[in-house]
Structures are given as C-alpha cells and as structure tokens.
Chain A
Amino acid sequence: MMDMISTLPDDILCHVLSFLKTKQAVATSILSKRWKHLWLSVPVLDFSRTRVTDQEANFRFHDFVYSVLLSRDSAPPVKFFRLYVMYNYTQHVNLIMPSVSKWINFVLQRGGLEYLDLYMDTSGWPTLPINILSCTTLVALKLCFFRVVDHRFSSVLLLPSLKTLHLHLIRFAKRQDFMFLLAACPNLEDLLISALLFDDEEDSLSCNEWKNFSLSNLTKANVDSYYFQFPMKVLHNVQSLSMCIAKAHCFNDAIPTFHNLTCMHLESLNNRCHFIVEVFKHCPKLQELYVDEDGMNSDYQPWTKKDDKENWVDPNFVPQCLSLHLRVFCFSSVFGLQGELQLARYILKNARVLQTMRISTIGEPEIKDLLSSFPRASSSCKLTFVYLPRDYSSESDSSLDANETSIGSDA
C-alpha cells in the first residue's frame, strides 16, 4: 500500500503542491529528477506571510520572486497569486512597488488569473497597479492597504467574472470612484469592505446616477460603514449581511427592504435598540440575528446605569419575520440597560418559531432570572446565558472565563 504513493501521477502530486506556499513548492524540485520541474506546473504562486527582516533579506526575497516568475515563463499561466509581505523594519513603499507592479503585470499578461490577494505592510500607501481592475478572468480579489488613484480610472474598470471582493484599508480619491468600482462588478456575490477612506470628503453619492444602482447577484456582504455611509440600497438582494454601525449614523433615509436576507450580524449597536425594530421591519425573512452591543456610550466610555435613557415602546404591529421566521437571536456584550431588556422581552414575546436566544452579558448576572421570567411565544425556545465579567478584554475569545448556564425548556 505504501508503494502506491510513488505511482501517483504528476497531476495528483501537483495538486498537493498547489496547497504549499511557493517557497516549499520550489524546494520540492530537489527531491528527484522527476520532481525537478513538477512545481512549474502548479498554477499557484503563494508568497504569503513572508516576513522580511532587513534590506538584505528584502533583496533576496525580490530575487527569489523574479527567479520564480522567470522559471515559469513557458509554464501554464498562474491562476492564484497571493502576496502578503510584512516588514520588520521601515521599508518605504517607493522601493517596493516598482518590482511588485512588474510581478503583477507579468502574471496578468499571461492571462488566466482568477484569484489575487495582496498586502504589503510598507510605510506609505502603495498605489494599486490599475490594470488589476481590468482583469476579465479574475474571480476573487482581496486587497489590503492600497491607494486607488489613476486618471484613467473609470474608463479602465472591467471585472465581469469577479464574484468575491474584499477591501480593507483602501483609499480612494472620491466616493464616486468606489461606486464605479462596484459598478464594474455586475456578477459580484461576496463583498467585504472595511476601513475605506476618501481623500475628498464631499459626499458625491447623492447624485441621480447611483439612485437605482444595486448589485443584484450579491448574496453576502460584510460592511464596516464606520467611516462612511454605505448606500444600503446596493445590498438589498443579499442573503447574509454583517454591518458595523457608526455611532452618529442616520438611518431614516433609504433603508431598502431586504427580501432575501436570512442572516444578519450587527456590531456596535450602542443601545439604540429601536434600530433592531427597523431591522425586523425591513427584513421580512430574517431567520438569524446576531447583535453585539459593544458596550460603549457616546463618549466612548463603558456603560454605567447613567446611560440608561432609552424609553422603549412596543411597536403597533409585529414584524413578519418575528412571527414567522426568526429562529436564532444572539445578543452580546449586554449590560442590562432598559432598552436591551425590553428588546429581549419583546422578541421572546413575539418570536413564534424562536429556537435559540443566547445572551452574553458583561454586566449584572441577575438579568438571567429576569429574562427567564418573561413570557415566550415559542415553547421550544432555549435560552442560554454566558456571563463575561466586565474587565474582560474585548480582544479575548468569548469562550475564556465564561460561566455558561443554560436555562429554558429543551425541545
């Protein structure tokens, strides 16, 4: 049986090699004569988690990448290219980007690139090589820490195959530029944006050309709209949505109805519990809702009883998703303020098919008894409490130091 592995054909071996970082894949060239050129058939170039300690190491790394690319000159095109480099010293972007642009151009020119993931931790914003945004074969694009600015910008954008777009710490000249980018991705299914910045603060999204724009194939979105107000209308077809809400956000205008939304994650609710009612009203098919309070008041201080100002009023009619669809409600970083308790009570009272309510509290453990006493519309609802003492670090895993108790009827 052990001998079988040496009879495996080249394409199977290449397939295993495709899961290795390029550094290790190239090293296999030394195993035997048969293996010397196997790595060249692997359509994956993964230079991820490369840590460069000093200038000398950087030269060696650049040499390596150049030699890998040159060796692959007559090899099959690269489908997957990941470059993730961290510098242990101050490495200025102008010394890095010319080479990086050449590498990317080399890969793009061969054609067939489907997956691109880039991050260079330089000092100073790298400028994104703009030809990436006209790669018609690209299916997934992940970018971190780039400046997108080019005078050819809106005429060059074309990403018809793109299904996944993840942008983190990306700087655009104007909001319009970001919208042009989205408009160039009509088949987008998965969007993640976080920490988008704009050189020009003026809000240019109110003009009519974006009024009816939406991404109709989008099923999953993760939108950190802390720094800018993301036009929600664009996302109205999604099935799954994660949002981080800015504290001074205004929700009154233009929240669309999310007809397909079944799973929602909300962060930084900050005790605006009535917003959840708006969520219910605009998401008629909602099945799972995860809310994280974040526990900070408007002065960025942890809550105290003084913050307990919300006057909850039950809405006149019960939203459809509560009566028919909501199965899971998880509420984290709950302090025990009136708004939070009333929201939980309201959901328990009206959610007829609720199976799980999980409350993770940083405040008083006594709310456990209070919530358990509230009437429930769903007899099979299981109520779970996780108590995390107030001085837990917000970075820690919620499974540390948690005393978990489960209360409620088991179905």
Chain B
Amino acid sequence: MAQEASSSTSSKTISLKTGDGEIFEIEASAAKQMKTVQRLIDDLGDDITIPLHNVFSKELPKIIEYYKKDITGEITKDFEAEFVKDLNDDEVKVLFLAANYLDANKLFEFLSQNIADRLESKSVEYVRKYFGVENDFTPEEESKLREERAWSFRGIKEDE
C-alpha cells in the first residue's frame, strides 16, 4: 500500500446502530459514500454512534462489505455478480431500499440494474407484488391497454 499522508479520517471508524439495535463499525472513508450517514456525522459528530432507524442487522453487513471493496477500488463485474448471486429477489429489494435510504449512490445504481434484470421477463402480477402495487384498473381497461401495447407483452410470462 502506498504511504498516505495521515489525516484524521484515514483510519477512523464510525459506529452505526441498526433499527434493531445492533452496532456495526465502518471506515470513515466508506461512510462518506453514504450521503445520509455523512449528513448525520456532520450533524452529530463522528464520535457518537449513528442511529439508522430504517436499516437492519440483516442487510447492513452486506452494504458494508460492498463499500469496503469500493474504497480499495476493487469493485469489478465479477465481484458484483458474486455479490448478488445468492440473494433472492426480496433480499435484493431490501438492500435496494436500504441503499436508497442511506443515499449510497453506487450501490443504488448497481441494485437498480440488478432489479431490472431480475424483473425482465417476470409476469405482470409478480411485478405488481414486488412493488406493492394495487391494481386499480377495471378488467376492460386492462385488456384495452394490453391490446394497445401488444408488442410489449410478447415473451413476458403469463400470470399464473
């Protein structure tokens, strides 16, 4: 590793407390990548444990893992593929929401792409459930729309 000019944040760690009360450590340089965390640090100081009400102990370690790789410049396509390989669609959704809350841009972009890839040829009903959408079309309205956009629906899974 190259010699870095020592600064007060170069090896500083920040404590983060999840919504379910667990505490995790993160390097200050990684915390900088999460704008929400950085804003809280700016307001509360970096010696205090930062509370993250909407992020929980299941997903925060995974997010920390991602940004650990990011600060060493090691995020590659292979790493990202491996990162989501064993996650199901709901687990990715939880991470996505957390990345959005934390304003962690790089992870957010990557997970947006991953969600889009996963939803690509899923059925309409699946996508509705995924986004928590209530169908407020009448059957007539829906079938008219389907007809107008027939080309869009070729190759998409039929609802079960």
**A positions within 8 Å CB-CB of B:** 1-6, 8, 12-13, 15-21, 23-24, 26-36, 60-61, 63-64, 67
B132→A32 contact, CB < 8 A:
no
Which residues of chain B from 17 to 35 have a CB within 8 Å of any chain A CB?
none
Of A3, A4, A16, A27, the contact of B152 (CB 8 Å cutoff): A27
Bound CA–CA A19/B109 (angstroms)? 9
Chain B residues whose CB sits within 8 angstroms of the CB of A33 once the complex forms: 136-137
| CB of B11, distance to nearest CB on chain A (Å) | 24
A29→B145 contact, CB < 8 A:
yes
Which residues of chain B from 32 to 67 have a CB within 8 Å of any chain A CB?
54, 56
7 contacts between A and B (CB under 8 A): A6-B132, A16-B116, A30-B137, A32-B133, A32-B134, A60-B151, A67-B148
| CB of A31, distance to nearest CB on chain B (Å) | 5
How many B residues have CB within 8 A of the partner chain? 36
> Which residue of A is nearest B142, CB measured?
A30
> Which residue of A is nearest B150, CB measured?
A60
Contact A31:B120 (CB < 8 A) given known A1-B94, A15-B112, A64-B152: no
Bound CA–CA A279/B160 (angstroms)? 62
**B positions within 8 Å CB-CB of A:** 54, 56, 90, 93-94, 97, 100, 112-113, 115-117, 119-121, 124, 127-128, 130-137, 142, 145-146, 148-153, 156
A32→B145 contact, CB < 8 A:
no
Q: How many A-B residue pairs have C-beta atoms within 8 angstroms? Tell me.
A: 84
Question: Among the interface residues A8, A17, A27, which one has the most CB atoms of the partner chain B within 10 A?
Answer: A27
Q: Main SS of chain B's interface residues?
A: helix
Chain A residues whose CB sits within 8 angstroms of the CB of B135 once the complex forms: 31-32
Contact A31:B151 (CB < 8 A) given known A5-B132, A8-B100, A16-B112: no
> Which residue of B is nearest A28, CB measured?
B127
B149→A31 contact, CB < 8 A:
no
A61→B145 contact, CB < 8 A:
no
A16→B120 contact, CB < 8 A:
no
| CB of A3, distance to nearest CB on chain B (Å) | 6
A20→B119 contact, CB < 8 A:
yes
